[in-house]
Amino acid sequence: MQILKTIEELQSIRKTITSNVGFVPTMGALHDGHISLIKKARAENEIVIVSIFVNPTQFLPGEDLDAYPRKDEADKKICELCKVDYLFMPEISTMYSKEEVSIKAPNKSYILEGLTRPGHFDGVLQVVLKLFGITQPTNAYFGKKDAQQLSLITQMTKDLFLPINIIACEIVRENDGLALSSRNVYLNSNQRQEALLISKSLYSAGALIAKGELDTNIVKNKILEIMKSLDVEYVAIVDREFNEINKIELKNTIILVVARFGNTRLLDNIWL
């Protein structure tokens, strides 16, 4: 595995590659969820590039940019064990200049995740577009846990006519059901136990739907009942385009949940 710090290094290498390239962009603090993306990329491409970059433009003032977990040495070892070919670890000054051409996310970026974090998805799309330009992947891998982000990146790729396949990958969970997240390390033991109500509520919703209940209000109320002891930010039931719906549409519905545990914000979802 080769570790690259500059855009020039990576672009020079990229010019020599004629086979399929799989790309996994991350912010580091790698866990089994990231590893599942890397392994899928490894299985489906001749060359695998992983990036680790904590992107400042997607953090709002007062968010956890400075405290975001950084585990560079462990991350390097993980990538090596996963047989990554190139690990790209740029500095902020490498990725951004003083005056930038800005990326404007569409209106659906200002609901749900974007409602209380205006401008967050502008930053996400900006850095992803930069990374796509540098790596020029054949296939790029993203987890379904960040469902709205995945939808916006897919739309950007389509709208800007980028010749990249966006591969959506399943959520990876702990044995007890908690969705893996780099922010799980912020939870104390009591919060960690309480957080299990998130996945429990989603599993219960799935079971209710499996029995034939398609009314979104009834399903949403079931979720809220299970999570009544938590600080729930939102429960939303939407179609794949992130329009709110009144009736569950099988194979076209996502149920999304966000709850707070102190200063830690956890999101989870199920795709139907």
Query: What confidence tier does 79 reach under pLDDT thresholds 50, 70, 90?
Result: very high
Give me the mean pLDDT over the 127-142 stretch.
Answer: 97
What's the pTM? 0.91
CA distance 132 to 126: 10
pLDDT higher than threshold 90 for residue 99: no
CA distance 153 to 146: 11
Across the chain, what does the average pLDDT equal? 93
State which of 169, 190, 221 marks the end of a domain.
169
147 and 20 within one domain: yes
From the candidates 31, 34, 40, 222, which is the catalytic residue? Answer: 34
User: pLDDT by residue (tens digit) across 150-165?
Assistant: 999 999 999 999 999 9
Residue 153, amino acid = I
Number of domains in the chain: 2
80 and 153 within one domain: yes
pLDDT at 29: 87
pLDDT at 91: 93
Query: What confidence tier does 90 reach under pLDDT thresholds 50, 70, 90?
Result: very high
230 and 156 within one domain: no
User: Which token pair is 143?
Assistant: 């987890």
User: pLDDT by residue (tens digit) across 8-22?
Assistant: 999 999 999 999 999
User: Which token pair is 71?
Assistant: 């585990």
Q: Report DSSP letters for the chain, one per residue.
A: -EEE-SHHHHHHHHTT--S-EEEEEE-S---HHHHHHHHHHHHH-SEEEEEE---GGGSPTTSSTTTS---HHHHHHHHHHTT-SEEE---HHHH--SS-------GGGGSGGGTSSTTHHHHHHHHHHHHHHHH--SEEEEETTSHHHHHHHHHHHHHTT---EEEEE---B-TTSPBP-GGGGG--HHHHHHTHHHHHHHHHHHHHHHTT--BHHHHHHHHHHHTTTSEEEEEEEEETT--B-SB--TTSEEEEEEEEETTEEEEEEEE-
CA distance 142 to 154: 10
User: pLDDT by residue (tens digit) across 14-51?
Assistant: 999 999 999 999 998 898 999 999 999 999 999 999 99
Catalytic annotation on 120?
no
Residue 176, domain member (yes or no): no
142 and 23 within one domain: yes
64 and 153 within one domain: yes
Residue 238's CATH number: 3.30.1300.10
Q: Where in the sequence is the domain holding 204, given as residue range(s)? A: 182-271
Residue 119's CATH number: 3.40.50.620
State which of 114, 142, 169 marks the end of a domain.
169
CA distance 258 to 114: 12
pLDDT at 71: 87
218 and 141 within one domain: no
Q: Return the percentage of the chain with pLDDT > 70, whole number.
A: 100
Residue 219, domain member (yes or no): yes
State which of 145, 169, 193 marks the end of a domain.
169
* Residue linked to tokens 């329009």: 243
